[in-house]
């Protein structure tokens, strides 16, 4: 009987920092996506291990400090006033309320506390109030991050002076997909705010969402936009769309989980030093896919039972998962 021939294929050299291009073309990132899955993970692991301890995961907790009633119409977001999702609009939380949540997050092991407010852009009086929240949280010894929408002149500086470490402002998707997702602002508006944040010396947290009906080329386009920022963001949250009833994105075809893992790997390879964060949608991925994401170079998670207004794995489940995988909090 004839034996099957086993062909041994040597893996291509992993993309190291030295080999990485100065500027990533979308086609180069698409070529990463097209690699055999094991090969892509090998490359991502190699880059990851050259830059981080692969057993460490940074834990961030996100609190919605002002929920709902937002004037923007982001098609994925249950907090937009344009969508009928049953989310009740609330007033901005007070310092003592925020401190209760921040202390609990810190006690559970979070090192960064992120505060999100559903505004198109904050007013001066909002900046003053949020500055007080930032100073109070910073006083606990936590890293601080806020996401407040588009910033005007001097606002990033005021937040920085209050003790802000990171400003989150996601670009959501590739530039050519953007108009399908939100019509109340332009892609360039996002870049303007990111420039103000950088200009003030505040670190940038910027990522996107996949599973919004984009093509693979557009997923590669999102990663290219992020990787080609100079410098690229210190923190890159990758969200897997959580489909909320009442939002225009509800009913979108669900993205294959392997494609999500590929997106994580592409982010790791193209942004070797960034914290790649598993963000919204982690609950639906399950433990095995999350483990693959860690193999692909994810090294940060949102930690806590709620993410703004959508669900998140509970803290005990996360601690158990990290223990099962032999991983630990950074
Ligand atoms: S994602 Fe942010 S800006 Fe867009 S509608 Fe929701 S809260 Fe408003």
CA of 119 to the centre of ligand 1 (A): 7
Where are the strands (E) in the chain, listed by range? 56-66, 112-117, 143-147, 166-168, 203-205, 208-210, 235-240, 275-278, 300-302, 306-307, 310-311, 328-329
CA of 120 to the centre of ligand 1 (A): 7
Domain parsing of the chain, residue ranges: 26-325
What pLDDT does 10 receive? 37
- As annotated, the active-site residues are 70, 74, 77, 114, 145, 205, 277
Q: What residues does 306 pair with on adjacent strands? A: 311
pTM here is 0.92
Distance CA 262, CA 266 (A): 6
Query: CATH number of the domain at 26-325, please?
Result: 3.20.20.70
pLDDT in tens, 16-71: 444 566 899 999 999 999 999 999 999 999 999 999 999 999 999 999 999 999 99
- Is the minimum distance from the CB of 148 to ligand 1 under 6 angstroms? no
What are residue 112's phi and psi, to 5 degrees?
-130, 135
- Is the minimum distance from the CB of 115 to ligand 1 under 6 angstroms? no
C-alpha atoms less than 13 angstroms from C-alpha of 133 in its C-beta half-sphere: 29
Distance CA 63, CA 68 (A): 13
Q: Which of 75, 118, 119 to mutate to test the pocket of ligand 1 (most atoms within 8 A of CB)?
A: 118
pLDDT in tens, 251-277: 999 999 999 999 999 999 999 999 999
- The mean of the pLDDT values for the chain is 92
Distance CA 238, CA 296 (A): 13
- Is the minimum distance from the CB of 149 to ligand 1 under 6 angstroms? yes
């Amino acid at each position: 009987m004839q034996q099957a021939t086993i062909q041994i294929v040597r893996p291509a050299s992993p993309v190291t920092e030295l080999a990485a291009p100065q500027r990533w073309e979308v086609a180069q990132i698409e070529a990463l996506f097209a690699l055999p899955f094991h090969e892509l993970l090998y490359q991502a692991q190699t880059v990851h291990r050259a830059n981080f301890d692969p057993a460490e995961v940074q834990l961030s907790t996100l609190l919605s400090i002002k929920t709902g009633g937002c004037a923007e119409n982001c098609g994925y977001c249950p907090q937009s006033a344009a969508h009928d999702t049953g989310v009740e609009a609330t007033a901005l939380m007070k310092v003592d309320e925020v401190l209760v949540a921040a202390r609990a997050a810190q006690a559970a092991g979070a090192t960064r506390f992120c505060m999100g407010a559903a505004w198109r852009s904050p007013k001066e009086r909002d900046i003053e109030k949020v500055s007080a929240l930032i100073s109070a949280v910073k006083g606990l010894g936590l890293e601080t991050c806020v996401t407040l929408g588009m910033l005007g002149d001097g606002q990033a500086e005021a937040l920085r002076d209050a003790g802000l470490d990171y400003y989150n402002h996601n670009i959501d998707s590739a530039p050519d997909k953007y108009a399908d997702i939100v019509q109340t602002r332009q892609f360039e508006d996002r870049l303007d705010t990111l420039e103000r944040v950088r200009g003030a010396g505040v670190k940038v947290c910027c990522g996107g969402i996949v599973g919004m009906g984009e093509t693979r080329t557009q997923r590669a386009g999102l990663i290219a936009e992020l990787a080609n920022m100079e410098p690229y963001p210190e923190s890159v949250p990758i969200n897997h769309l959580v489909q909320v009833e009442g939002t225009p994105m509800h009913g979108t075809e669900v993205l294959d989980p392997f494609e999500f893992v590929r997106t994580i790997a592409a982010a790791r390879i193209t942004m070797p030093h960034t914290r790649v964060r598993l963000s919204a949608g982690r609950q639906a991925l399950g433990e095995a896919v999350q483990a693959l994401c860690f193999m692909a170079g994810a090294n940060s998670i949102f930690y806590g039972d709620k993410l703004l207004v959508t669900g998140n794995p509970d803290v005990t489940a996360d601690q158990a998962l990290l223990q099962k995988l032999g991983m630990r909090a950074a």
